[in-house]
Amino acid sequence: EAQVTQNPRYLITVTGKKLTVTCSQNMNHEYMSWYRQDPGLGLRQIYYSMNVEVTDKGDVPEGYKVSRKEKRNFPLILESPSPNQTSLYFCASSRPGDEQFFGPGTRLTVL
């Protein structure tokens, strides 16, 4: 089944404790993105990647890092999480010129 998977689905952590949210797609898509969703703000893009080793900042990149060492994986790294990063995070992938497919989301709470 074609899909985008994210892990973990739920995470509660404390301020300053490094964490990684994994994202993997099995559709051989070139493009991958990370979004965060906050009430009343919709989805905002954090980072995106056009292909392996090619990443760029989206609209709200502060406090996040990403890497794209393999085509299928695009992990999101929070090196020192803060409470304002409490949010619902979505990973997405697509082919050039096509729709984005979204993962199921990761709900992160930073205490």
Q: List residues binding another protein (CB under 8 A).
A: 30-31, 33, 35, 40-45, 48-50, 56, 58, 90, 92, 94-105
CA 7 to chain centre: 10
**Nearest-approach distance from CB 6 to another protein, in angstroms:** 9
**Nearest-approach distance from CB 28 to another protein, in angstroms:** 15
CA distance 90 to 80: 19
Q: What are the structure tokens assigned to 94, written together?
A: 């697509």
Which residue's CB is nearer to another protein, number 13 or number 100? 100
Which residue's CB is nearer to another protein, number 15 or number 38? 38
Residue type, 98: D
**Nearest-approach distance from CB 43 to another protein, in angstroms:** 4
Which residue's CB is nearer to another protein, number 44 or number 65? 44
Check residue 89 and give left, alpha or beta (phi > 0: left; psi -120 to 50: alpha): beta
Report helix, strand or coil for 83. Answer: helix
